[in-house]
Amino acid sequence: MTGDHPRTGISRGTFLRTIGLGAGAVALGDYGLAHATPFASPASARRDFTLNAGDAHFNLGGKRISTIAYNGLLPGPMIRVKRGERLRVQVNNHLGADTTVHWHGIPIVNKMDGVPGVTQPAIKAGTNFLYDFNVPVSGTYWYHSHNEIQLDRGLYGPLIIDEPNEKLSYDREAILALDDWRDIGSTHLTALQSKFYCDVATYAGTGGFGMSGNAFPTQPARYPLHLINGRPGNAPTEIRVKRGDVLRLRLINAAGGTVYRFAIAGHRMRVTHTDGNPVQPVDVDALDIGMAERYDVLVYATNPGVWQMAAQVAGEGVRTRAILRYEGSHAHVPPATSRPGTLEGKLLSYPMLNATSDVALPSGKPDLDVHLGLNTKFGSFWITWNGQIVDAVKPIHIPLNSHVRFRVTNGGTTQPHPIHLHGHSFKLSTGSGGSAYKDTAIVLPSQTLTYDWIADNPGVWMLHCHNLYHMLAGMMLLLRVK
Ligand code: C2O
Ligand code: CU
């Protein structure tokens, strides 16, 4: 479908280059911008890792699939360091396409943020890049490709940063990474095909932003599979506990386009962190987790048996699960789609989340108070700035160290949008209580959420919807903190 797009004046090619779909470079000067990083600490210990991005083949519960992954693993290898350490990751690009790696949620030095065409030139096929940065925060994070739809094809992994002064006590921990899986049957794209697909999008239309509906990669109407730790519901991952254990679960939504409702049969969850940051503990039966969000929860193992840990997709029921198995319990696992009663219990909502006093939240009157509107039309998506459609390829100036308030309203769409700010976390306010410190929050249809943040990290940063397909179709902004 072709139509007048309100955001005239931006060629689609130019627009897409900002998110790395093209060969060009926006804001070239920013690549080499020599900012002093506030995080440099030459005395800290250094950890080195290697990520090889390339083709991979998996057996997903009996289905053979070909896709792309890091080090042939799904999810990619866990990267684990301590807060304050220096992390170096060598990325070798064995894909037939450009790539970069984004360290989601880390207030990183800008040139290591991994946004192709904005913070670095893309890592070309057959070449490599060394990410090298200090890690100033602790908690549950993740890394993923920021190119095209590579994240939705398997290029992601957990990034866990241990807190030297950990206050939680627990006996065991496990990571559960949730993922909607598109690379099956007709939705399969080889690396080369997906590159071609996106190149067509980049070069086919040069006359403004009017587009043919299929120019962008599109989200599957229904994902063929959903995975937890790379395994579908018919071959689930098992987490083992002993009666009396306290289990720390680190939940990561690594999906390209799916919000999950998560619950554990027979157990409540004590939410202790969101997006790496501690919250005052709150006990719930179920929680919604948007794309890129993380929750850490404690599970008290007081109810021996074999239990469903279920991930439900709105309108589709339980689509994947993991198993919680007590040592000595030999019961059969429940059916893959079995619905824990806890899915109907007390549901976490943002007003229940309050940062602990360890978190320094922005307070007082903002220096900049902006209304961001989330909109869609004709298959494209955009964000308005105080009611104006902005040129998303031109970074908007934000004075360094200013207190910024974004009031984000999902007024123009019927879908949830997990809006993520790069390089900073924000205090989330809902209008009905709560003050969590987060890097991504779901803005529901007709809802307004308030993001208060201190622009203390210089550079050009993205703000975008973490539905990959919404981002690629334009739901993004660039902010230049200077
Ligand atoms: Cu997970 Cu641009 O982000
Ligand atoms: Cu969205």
> What is the residue-wise DSSP string for 191-246?
HHHHHHHHHHHHHH--STT---TTSS----SS-SEEEETTEETTS--EEEE-TT-E
pLDDT of 140 above 50: yes
Quick one: pLDDT at residue 184? 76
**pLDDT band, residue 216 (cuts 50/70/90):** low
470 CA from centroid of ligand 1 (Å): 12
Rounded to whole angstroms, the Cα distance separating 199 from 193 reads 10
**Ligand 1, atom nearest to 422 Cα:** 2
Ligand whose nearest atom lies closest to the CA of 255: 1
**Ligand 1, atom nearest to 144 Cα:** 1
- Identify whether the C-beta of residue 272 lies closer than 8 Å to the C-beta of residue 295: no
Q: Which residue has the higher pLDDT, 208 or 280?
A: 280
Q: What is the dihedral of CA 359, 364, 370, 373, to 10 degrees?
A: 50
pLDDT of 4 above 60: no
**Ligand 1, atom nearest to 104 Cα:** 1
For residues 468-473, give the mean pLDDT.
90
End-to-end CA separation in angstroms for the chain: 40
Rounded to whole angstroms, the Cα distance separating 264 from 321 reads 9
**Ligand 1, atom nearest to 471 Cα:** 2
437 CA from centroid of ligand 2 (Å): 21
**pLDDT band, residue 23 (cuts 50/70/90):** very low
Of all protein residues, the one whose alpha carbon is nearest to atom 1 of ligand 1 is 104
105 CA from centroid of ligand 2 (Å): 18
Quick one: pLDDT at residue 196? 36
**pLDDT band, residue 381 (cuts 50/70/90):** confident
Which two three-digit tokens encode residue 215? 């120019």
Q: Which residue has the higher pLDDT, 50 or 30?
A: 50
Which amino acid appears at position 100 of this protein? Answer: T
pTM higher than 0.75, yes or no? Answer: yes
Instruction: Report the chain's mean pLDDT, rounded to a whole number.
Output: 87
pLDDT of 17 above 50: no
Of all protein residues, the one whose alpha carbon is nearest to atom 3 of ligand 1 is 104
What's the half-sphere exposure (Cβ side, CA atoms, 13 Å) at 50?
Answer: 8
Q: What is the full DSSP assignment across 5-43?
A: -SSTT--HHHHHHTTTSSS--SSGGGTT--PPPTT--TT
For residues 463-474, give the mean pLDDT.
92
The answer to whether the CB of 294 is under 6 A from ligand 1 is: no
Rounded to whole angstroms, the Cα distance separating 383 from 370 reads 12
Quick one: pLDDT at residue 390? 83
